[in-house]
Amino acid sequence: MTEQFEPLIIGFTCNWCSYRAADLAGTSRKQYPPNIRLIRLMCSGRLSPEFVLKALQGGADGVMITGCHPGECHYLEQNFKALRRFALLKRVLAQMGIEPERVRLVWASAAEGVHLAQEITDMVEAVRALGPLDWAGVASNGSAHAIPAAEIVGEEVSA
């Protein structure tokens, strides 16, 4: 019996809206797959692109970023920064050969537990369909051949 591929998704969730939404999903017994590992940031604007890159390079098959809806950011406008960074990062990732489904941005208010749980479920299935990313395999290289030293003929003769 073949084992089903279980994607590993890293979820960067902002403390104020979306982390509470995830909490709410839990207390509402709205299930979402255990494939996602949540990492709490104070704000989606805290997300440096390196977090996403490191997650993918480190073995994640996908990354989800969640934050407050535009206009509802606890720190006023920083989720706009997150949005701009995410949009530009997606274009860069596409050039790196990473399928768009592997990185997803979700706005979710503290009350939207069901919505967030559904997004997570959808994403897990989308990434499952794509298969493992296996970035360690992508970045590895062929081994070097030993170069046989050529036979040198002719000795040095002093002038």
Partner 1 sequence: MSENGKPKFGMYWAASCGGCEIAVLNIGEHILDVDAVFDIALWPVAADFKYEDVRNYPDGYIDICLFNGAIRTSENEEIAHLLRKKSKVLVAFGSCAYEGCIPALSNFTSKEATFKAAYLDNPSTDNPDGVLPQTVTEVPEGELYLPEFYNTVKALSDVVEVDYTIPGCPPEPHQIWAVLQAVVAALTQGAELPPPGSIIGAGNVALCEECERVKSEKIIERFYRPYEITPDPEICLLEQGMICMGPATRSGCGALCPKVGMGCRGCYGPLEGVEDHGARMLTAIASVIDVGKPGESEDEINRKLEEVLDTIPDPAGTFYRFSMARSILKRAKVNGDGHKGGAQ
Partner 2 sequence: MKRISIDPITRLEGHGKIEIFLNEEGEVANTYFQVPELRGFEQFCVGRAAEEMPRITQRICGVCPEAHHMASTKTLDALFHVDPPSAAKKLREMFYSAFYCADHTVHFYALGAPDFVVGPEAPAAERNILGVIHKVGVDIGKQVIACRHRNHHVIEMVGGRGVHPVAGLPGGWSKAITEEERQEIEAIAKENIDFALFSLKIFEDVVLGNQGYVDLILSDAYTHQVYYMGTVDENNHVNFYDGMIRVVDPEGKEFAKYHPSEYREHIAEHVESWSYLKFPYLKKIGWKGLVDGKDSGVYCATPLSRLNASDGMATPKAQEAFEKMYETLGSKKVNGRYQPVHHTLAAHWARLVELLYAAERMVELITDKEITDPNVRTPITEKPDEGVGCVEAPRGTLTHHYWSDDNGILTKVNLIVGTTNNNAPISMSVKSAAKGLIHKGTVVTEGLLNKVEMAFRSYDPCYACATHSLPGQMPLEVVIRDADGAVTETLRQNC
Residue of the chain from 2, 4, 27, 141 that contacts partner 1 (CB under 8 A): 141
Task: Give me the sign of the Cα torsion angle 47, 116, 126, 100.
Answer: negative
Nearest distance from residue 94's CB to partner 1, in Å?
A: 5
* Interface ranges with partner 2 (CB under 8 A): 95, 150-157, 159
CA-CA-CA-CA torsion for 17, 20, 22, 27, nearest 10 degrees?
-150
Answer with the entry of partner 2, partner 1, none that 80 interacts with (C-beta below 5 to 8 A by kind). partner 1
Answer with the entry of partner 1, partner 2, none that 4 interacts with (C-beta below 5 to 8 A by kind). none
Nearest distance from residue 142's CB to partner 2, in Å?
A: 15
Closest CA to 119 of 9, 3, 2, 40: 9
Answer with the entry of partner 1, partner 2, none that 91 interacts with (C-beta below 5 to 8 A by kind). partner 1
Length of the chain: 159
CB 91, CB 30: distance < 8 Å? no
Residue of the chain from 40, 54, 59, 122 that contacts partner 1 (CB under 8 A): 54
Answer with the entry of partner 1, partner 2, none that 21 interacts with (C-beta below 5 to 8 A by kind). none
Enumerate residues 6+ apart whose C-beta is below 8 A from 39: 10, 11, 12, 13, 51
| CB-count exposure of residue 7 (10 Å: 0-12, 13-18, 19+) | buried
Residues in contact with partner 1 by CB under 8 A are: 48-50, 53-54, 56-57, 69-71, 77, 80-81, 83-85, 87-89, 91-100, 102, 107, 133, 135, 138-142, 144-145, 147-148, 150, 152
